Structure 1
Amino acid sequence: MPVSRRTFLGGSLAAAAVAATGTPLLAGCASDKKNSAAANAAVKLPTYQRYAGVKPDLPGTDVVLDGFLKYPANPVKAIADKPGDGQPITFMTNIPGAIPPGMERNQFWQALNERLGSELQISMASNDEYPNKFATRIAGGDLPDVLNIPTNTVQIPGLLKAKAMDLTEHLSGDAIKKYPFLANIPTEYWKGCVFNGAIYGVPVPRGMSRTSLPLYRADLLAAQGIKDPAPKNFQEFFDLAKEVTAAKQNRWAWTKVPIATIRQMLGIPNVWKEEGGKFTSAFEHEAQLEALEAGRKMVAAGVLNPDAFTDKASARKQWFNGGSAVFDHDSFVAWNQYYADSTAGDAFAVGALDVPGFDGGAGSPWMGSALNNLTAFNKDSKHSAETLLKLADWMAAPFGTEEYLFRKYGVAGRHYALQGTDPIPNKTGVVETGIGVQYISDSTLALYWAGKPDVSQKQHAIQTKIADRLVYDASYGLYSDTLSKKQAQLTKTINDLESQILQGKKPVSDWKAGVETWKSSGGDTMRTELEQAFSDTAGK
């Protein structure tokens, strides 16, 4: 199954630390024995208090995100006081785009510091470089005040116990109401911040916004006379891919094998399934062989880019945006990013397929990972927990507020121009605002694209359609030490096997042996630990 960026970051950290320092990442802060599931379940999570200051055009639910057709005309200034204490605050993070201009040449960063009342000093690295930087800083004990911690960091309970502030008294239950925009983050997201019987961080929520579906270039399909495609089963899905492929014109249906979509058609679990207290890995599901056969069939038919198995994700995104691929399996976050990166002009349009059942009926889409990362505060910071929480609260001001408008788009005239009430970013805005502050804290995503109300309408419609069928990862909120240490490497091994099978280099029958190796190398121990954690929490 595809390894997410977060899995990659977490799984790489131990190796990176050994390479950089000659010692394990968490030497001196091994997993704390008090990180019991029962102790964690006993923590009173923050009270959810939905912010009512902005009314969405397309109201969401506990699952479906709120949608907006335009930015509110008079954004409410939601926070009166500057959150900072006048002293510099340091922060370390990855960033998804190019490294932006430094503070001295970045007018957005300078304006941000003025609004915060403290200079925010950011140490940033690209997604690819962050694992080494994170590992080196942890191993050297050189930590900033605010730290972006990937969710799959190895032995995260021990790291947090040794290095991070315990925030329980500030955030548990109604105490969080002092920070109204942190309280506006639904309770479910806080489960990923509880370790060692305490709340050790602030969540950067994703969930539905990270749910991935087959995205398609609606403009390219329309040019072929295909409007609102809706295959009813795998065969129609496959036939559509063959219909839109034109290799001689350098156009293929898919950027990669849509194996995740096929698995969802077959009802394969989202990472881990729990039933009656028993856990089953998606790798073990009986439909895996059928999914792999179907994937091989698509490879053999030549409906995906010939470089699909060798090029990086960044190249696949370029194929989609450039029109040499019509379909890509990606998230609602990526959907918006495609519009940001597009050079195809006003005709550019993206849509999403629902997931049908393999032989008809409805498929079972997977809910996206709950968190992008958790943000922890250095226990040795000279700033108070209250100051750092006020900073996080400011960063979580939601869509429709003046703070959100500035945080995401910058300063009018310099970073964007208003089109009606919609902020339309310019190149300077995109570059200067990309300093990673969304990884300190963030509100849940709002469905919106400046100047294109049809984008949020399409996104809201497909979310509403799939909401009741979403399949969740049963392991979320449960800690397995073996999973923490071994998940990344074991998943890489089985993904390598999957790639060989899909390319026809190994038979589908090899999958069963690969799963047996996965089980004996740590998979079965992960299962046992997850089942014990689930039992200890009585399934809470």
Structure 2
Amino acid sequence: MEPVSRRSLLRGGLATAALAATGLPVLSGCSNTTAGTSNAKTTQKSAAALLPTYRKYAQVKPDLVGTDLILDGFLSYPDKPVRAIEETPGDGKTVTFMTNIPGAIPPTEDRNSFWQTLNKRIGSPLEISMASNDEYPEKFATRIAGDDLPDVINIPPATAQLPGLLQAKCQDLTEHLAGDAVLKYPFLANLPAEAWKGCIYNGAIWGIPIPRGMARTALPLYREDLLAAKGIKDPAPSNFQEFLDLCKELTDAKSRRWAWASAPTNYVKQMLDIPYLWKQEGGKFTSANESEQMKTALESVRKLVAAGVVNPDAFGSGASQQKQWFNGGIVCFVLDSFVAWNQFYADNTAGDAFAVNMLDVPGFDGGEGTPWLGLALNNITAFNKDNEHSTETLLKLADWMSASFGTEEYLFRKYGLPGSHYTMQGSDPIPSRTGVTETGIGLQYFGDAPMALYLAGKPDVVRKQYAIQQKITPRLIKDASYGLYSDTKDRKSGQIDGVLNDLATQIILGRKPVSDWDEGVKVWLSNGGEAIRGELEKSYAEAAKNAGTK
């Protein structure tokens, strides 16, 4: 995914207004692990006490075995996919679902053979209200304001006043999923604990996580074929200066080729051991913005821009345009994730020579940098409190949607029907254009399995992905604010972060001095950053207290 646009919903304005319009409870400083406004049966239960039992699905054996962080790798699709769920999960009644769609809007059900077959297989007609990534925030907020929510709802994790929305409008799933109760749904039990932490608020489980984690970890992807053409194999700069030299070597502005699609600010931050959003020590939180190394990072990125190694159109372009530059060979590097790595092959326009790899992060002055672990979940799938289905039916559907890689259910869900939507190359499904179009109905946001490392017909790509994950895993750092709730963060971070990010851009472009950063951070703190810190610290303390008394 695929993230929903931050333009409106994730900046809090539309969703906050919608909550107010419906009279939903507007909570302040409410921890996702505290019981302040929860019902009696979940009072004083910590997130740790509520976590569903993790049981990895073991019926499909990977070629490259993963860990709790490293993704399982498959060099080919299992030639005899396991039929994991014999029972039809639906109840025969229409299930309504609202979601965003990262690609083009697919054909409607009456013109979509995949969708029609899906309805038969799950035993309930699935009625999907979908919108593009950019349009979804406004549509979501409008449906909240109109009290017009479907049975199943794709809720972005940064939704403003999220605990209030979940408690007022969504089913409490605690008794169905907490602890060993989840084992009734083996593919929900297969979801990692870190993802579930983002679904627990006020002592209750309010939804199903759509897991990401390592899949969303972003480092420089590079065009291995373009570097090889210049005699560069296995690039491994050992510090920032060597990285800058490599970028200069790869840039030829006269031939319209640059090293970078955008200024790699976050990559340089990782060289300098700057926290991923928030750092926690002894219950005290520090924003990455406050790091002593931030000015060094900005000054260093300004050197990259001044050296001409970043496409000059980068600051007026979006992610889609930058991906096109990468596929077209206009740039050699783009900062992106393992999900994007596979997508670049799907979108490849360069022919058989096209090859992608990922660059590790060195320490700024030598040694090793600290890569940032991607956010554990993509979205929360919640059930409307007023839907007409049993909770068990909707959980069975979510479980079916979450069936693991290597199962027959996964093969159908992701690829469709053989002949119509894909052809077989050995045991690997190769999607057709019709398959890509018709299967893109957003099922991955109803329920999804942890990502597996796999690319049909390209086992070498899987080996590269597995190798870099093994290399970076011991050094990964997480956002310390994940799983903690700050009302100010959800309402104001889009606005105050936007102002500070604009200042960073002006510094990087050489239009303002690096010394302006200090004053910018002071303003950021006074306009909401300090309040966010206080709420995170309070939430962390409450979580620690509850964990000690569970």
With normalisation by structure 2, the TM-score equals 0.95
Distance 2:273 2:68 in 1: 23
Question: Partner residue of 2:229?
Answer: 223
Distance 2:29 2:525 in 1: 25
Which deviates more, 31-40 or 100-109?
Answer: 31-40
Choose from 443, 449, 462 the match for 1:443: 449
The Cα of 1:418 is off from its aligned counterpart by 0.4
> Any conservation in 1 of the 2:30–2:486 contact (CA below 8 Å)?
no
Distance 2:12 2:456 in 1: 37
Question: Partner residue of 1:41?
Answer: 46
User: Quick one: which amino acid aligns to residue 345 of structure 1?
Assistant: G
Unmatched 5+ stretches in structure 1 = none
- Cα offsets for 1:336-380 (capped at 9, x unmatched): 111111121221111000000001100000000111000000000
SS at match of 1:100: coil
User: Quick one: which amino acid aligns to residue 175 of structure 2?
Assistant: E
Distance 1:67 1:474 in 2: 28
> Any conservation in 2 of the 1:189–1:371 contact (CA below 8 Å)?
yes
SS at match of 2:381: strand
Choose from 159, 162, 168 the match for 2:168: 162
- Cα offsets for 1:448-481 (capped at 9, x unmatched): 0000001110000000000010011111111111
Distance 1:456 1:122 in 2: 33
Distance 2:366 2:28 in 1: 48
- Does structure 1 residue 529 correspond to structure 2 residue 496? no
The Cα of 1:532 is off from its aligned counterpart by 1.2
Distance 1:399 1:142 in 2: 34
The Cα of 1:9 is off from its aligned counterpart by 5.9
Which deviates more, 269-278 or 482-491?
Answer: 482-491
Choose from 241, 251, 272 the match for 1:235: 241
> Any conservation in 1 of the 2:12–2:490 contact (CA below 8 Å)?
no
User: Quick one: which amino acid aligns to residue 299 of structure 1?
Assistant: V
> Any conservation in 1 of the 2:3–2:378 contact (CA below 8 Å)?
no
- Does structure 1 residue 114 correspond to structure 2 residue 120? yes
> Any conservation in 2 of the 1:6–1:151 contact (CA below 8 Å)?
no
The Cα of 1:33 is off from its aligned counterpart by 8.3
Question: Partner residue of 2:359?
Answer: 353
Distance 2:27 2:121 in 1: 39
- Does structure 1 residue 29 correspond to structure 2 residue 25? yes
Query: Could you say if the C-alpha distance between residues 113 and 36 of structure 1 is closer, same or farther in structure 2, counting changes exceeding 3 Å?
Result: closer
With normalisation by structure 1, the TM-score equals 0.96
The Cα of 1:48 is off from its aligned counterpart by 0.4
The Cα of 1:285 is off from its aligned counterpart by 0.2
The Cα of 1:223 is off from its aligned counterpart by 1.2
Choose from 206, 210, 217 the match for 1:211: 217
> Any conservation in 2 of the 1:13–1:134 contact (CA below 8 Å)?
no
**Residue correspondence of structure 1 range 488-499 to structure 2 within 5 A:** 488-499=494-505
SS at match of 1:538: helix
**Residue correspondence of structure 1 range 100-499 to structure 2 within 5 A:** 100-499=106-505
The Cα of 1:14 is off from its aligned counterpart by 2.2
- Does structure 1 residue 11 correspond to structure 2 residue 5? no
> Any conservation in 2 of the 1:11–1:489 contact (CA below 8 Å)?
no
Coordinate RMSD, CA, aligned? 1.7
> Any conservation in 1 of the 2:15–2:160 contact (CA below 8 Å)?
no
Question: Partner residue of 1:503?
Answer: 509
The Cα of 1:29 is off from its aligned counterpart by 3.1
Distance 1:126 1:12 in 2: 17
Choose from 55, 58, 61 the match for 2:61: 55
- Does structure 1 residue 83 correspond to structure 2 residue 83? no
Q: Determine what percentage of the aligned residue pairs are the same residue.
A: 63
> Any conservation in 1 of the 2:69–2:214 contact (CA below 8 Å)?
yes
The Cα of 1:304 is off from its aligned counterpart by 1.0
User: Quick one: which amino acid aligns to residue 466 of structure 1?
Assistant: I
- Cα offsets for 1:376-432 (capped at 9, x unmatched): 000000011111100100010010000001111110111110000000111111111
User: Quick one: which amino acid aligns to residue 300 of structure 2?
Assistant: A
User: Quick one: which amino acid aligns to residue 124 of structure 2?
Assistant: S
SS at match of 2:120: helix
> Any conservation in 2 of the 1:212–1:332 contact (CA below 8 Å)?
yes
The Cα of 1:11 is off from its aligned counterpart by 2.3
Unmatched 5+ stretches in structure 2 = 36-44
Distance 2:191 2:281 in 1: 28
Query: Could you say if the C-alpha distance between residues 500 and 280 of structure 1 is closer, same or farther in structure 2, counting changes exceeding 3 Å?
Result: same
User: Quick one: which amino acid aligns to residue 293 of structure 2?
Assistant: A
SS at match of 1:279: strand
